C-alpha cells in the first residue's frame, strides 16, 4: 500500500512541501478522531462567538482551527497561515517557504446531525520577504497554488490531493494511522445529469442561473433535453467528492440577499483549492463569467460565486451567463 509521502516523492514534491502536507495530515487525523467520538468528546453544539464571517461558530470549528494552527506553526517550512476562522493572517516561521490557507471544518452545520464534513486546504509559495502575518503575501491567484486538497470525514476518512500532477484519493487506514492510496488520476466525466444547488435561494439568483435551473427541471421536454437529478448536502467537500466520483455540477451563485458580497463561498479557502482539484481532475471551474483561479484576490476573506464540476455542463452554465 502506497502512502501519501511515497506518492509525493514519486511526483517530485520537494522535501519542504512534503513536510507541510504531512503536518496538515497530522492535524486532519486528530480532527477525524475527535469527530469519530462525537458527543463523547464534547464537540457537538455551538459556541457563543461568531467568526470574522459573522457566522456562529460550532465547537468543532474552533477545535479544528486550533489543531491545524498549532501543528502548522511547528513546521519550519510554514511562514504563515490564513483560516476562515481567523480575523487576520497568522505568522508562523520567518524563514518558511510556504503559506497555508484552510477551512478547518467545511459544512460544520452538519456536525450535530452526524453528516459528512471536511477540511479544505491550499498551499502557496511565499513570494518575497515579509512576516507570515502580512496579508499581502497571501493575495495570489489560484494559479500559484503548489498543492491543494481536502479530507472528507464520512464513513471513512478520505484525503483528496493534488500537487499539479493529477488528483489522487487516499483512505485513512486506522490500523496503521496513515492515509494510503486507493485511487489514482481521478477524471470527472465531461457530461452529467446531476446538479447540486441550494434551491431555497432560487428567488434571489440572477436571471441566467434562474433560467438554467428552470431548464434543468423541465427535463427531456426542456431546452437541455435530459432529465436531471438534484442533490444537496450543505457541505462543499461532500458535494465536490460526489462529483469527483461520478460527475455532476455544484453551484453556489451570487444572489441579491446581500448585493455587496460577490458570493457565499470564500475564494482563498474554498474557491481556489476546490477549483485546482477539479481542473486537475478533467473538470472546469468558473464564477459563471470567469475562471475562479484567474481572479486576483484583494483581501483574504474575499467571497466568490462558484460553479464547478463536469466540463461540458459547467460550460453550459457559462453560456447562459454570456447570453443572459
Backbone angles phi, psi at 60, to 5 degrees: -75, -20
Checking DSSP bridges between strand 98-106 and strand 78-83, what pairing results, if any? parallel
Task: Please check if 35 is assigned to a binding site.
Answer: no
Contacts made by residues 32-37, CB under 8 angstroms, sequence distance 24+: 32/151, 32/153, 32/157, 32/172, 34/60, 34/63, 35/60, 35/111, 35/117, 35/153
- Where helices occur in the chain by DSSP H, the ranges are 4-10, 15-37, 59-73, 207-217, 236-246, 272-280, 311-323
Task: Please check if 256 is assigned to a binding site.
Answer: no
Residue 225 and residue 35: Cα distance in Å, rounded?
43
Task: Please check if 106 is assigned to a binding site.
Answer: yes
Residue 281 and residue 273: Cα distance in Å, rounded?
12
Contacts of 169 (CB under 8 A, 6+ apart): 158, 159, 160, 181, 182, 183, 184, 186, 244
Backbone angles phi, psi at 13, to 5 degrees: -70, 140
Residue 72 and residue 24: Cα distance in Å, rounded?
7
Q: Is 87 exposed, middle or buried (0-12, 13-18, 19+ CB in 10 A)?
A: exposed
Task: Please check if 279 is assigned to a binding site.
Answer: no
| Cβ atoms of residues 56 and 46 within 8 Å | yes
Task: Please check if 141 is assigned to a binding site.
Answer: no
| Cβ atoms of residues 196 and 231 within 8 Å | yes
Task: Please check if 112 is assigned to a binding site.
Answer: no
| Cβ atoms of residues 84 and 104 within 8 Å | yes
Task: Please check if 15 is assigned to a binding site.
Answer: no
Task: Please check if 149 is assigned to a binding site.
Answer: no
The C-alpha cell that represents 46 in the structure block:
455551538
The C-alpha cell that represents 100 in the structure block:
497555508
Task: Please check if 103 is assigned to a binding site.
Answer: yes
Task: Please check if 107 is assigned to a binding site.
Answer: yes
Binding site listing for Mg(2+): 84, 103, 105-106, 270
Binding site listing: 84, 103, 105-109, 198, 264, 270
Binding site listing for substrate: 106-109, 198, 264
Amino acid at each position: 500500500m502506497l502512502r501519501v509521502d511515497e506518492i509525493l516523492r514519486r511526483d517530485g514534491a520537494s522535501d519542504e512541501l512534503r513536510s507541510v502536507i504531512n503536518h496538515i495530515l497530522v492535524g486532519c487525523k486528530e480532527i477525524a478522531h475527535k469527530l469519530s467520538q462525537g458527543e463523547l468528546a464534547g464537540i457537538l453544539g455551538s459556541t457563543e462567538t461568531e467568526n470574522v464571517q459573522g457566522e456562529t461558530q460550532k465547537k468543532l470549528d474552533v477545535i479544528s482551527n486550533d489543531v491545524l494552527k498549532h501543528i502548522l506553526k511547528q513546521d519550519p517550512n510554514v511562514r504563515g497561515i490564513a483560516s476562515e476562522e481567523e480575523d487576520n493572517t497568522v505568522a508562523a516561521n520567518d524563514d518558511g517557504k510556504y503559506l497555508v490557507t484552510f477551512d478547518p471544518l467545511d459544512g460544520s452545520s452538519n456536525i450535530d446531525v452526524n453528516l459528512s464534513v471536511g477540511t479544505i486546504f491550499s498551499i502557496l509559495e511565499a513570494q518575497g520577504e515579509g512576516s507570515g502575518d502580512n496579508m499581502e503575501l497571501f493575495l495570489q491567484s489560484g494559479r500559484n497554488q503548489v498543492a491543494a486538497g481536502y479530507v472528507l470525514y464520512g464513513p471513512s476518512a478520505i484525503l483528496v490531493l493534488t500537487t499539479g500532477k493529477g488528483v489522487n484519493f487516499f483512505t485513512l487506514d486506522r490500523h496503521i494511522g496513515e492515509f494510503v492510496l486507493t485511487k489514482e488520476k481521478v477524471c470527472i466525466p465531461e457530461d452529467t445529469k446531476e446538479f447540486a444547488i441550494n434551491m431555497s435561494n432560487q428567488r434571489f439568483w440572477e436571471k441566467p442561473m434562474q433560467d438554467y435551473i428552470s431548464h434543468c427541471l423541465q427535463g427531456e421536454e426542456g431546452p437541455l433535453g435530459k432529465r436531471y437529478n438534484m442533490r444537496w448536502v450543505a457541505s462543499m467537500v461532500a458535494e465536490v467528492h460526489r462529483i469527483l466520483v461520478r460527475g455532476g455540477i455544484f453551484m453556489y451563485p451570487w444572489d441579491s440577499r446581500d448585493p455587496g458580497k460577490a458570493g457565499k463561498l470564500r475564494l482563498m479557502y474554498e474557491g481556489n483549492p476546490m477549483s485546482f482539484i477539479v481542473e486537475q481532475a478533467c473538470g472546469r471551474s468558473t464564477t459563471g463569467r470567469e475562471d475562479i483561479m484567474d481572479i486576483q484576490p484583494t483581501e483574504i476573506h474575499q467571497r466568490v460565486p462558484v460553479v464547478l464540476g463536469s466540463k461540458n455542463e459547467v460550460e453550459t452554465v457559462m453560456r447562459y451567463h454570456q447570453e443572459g
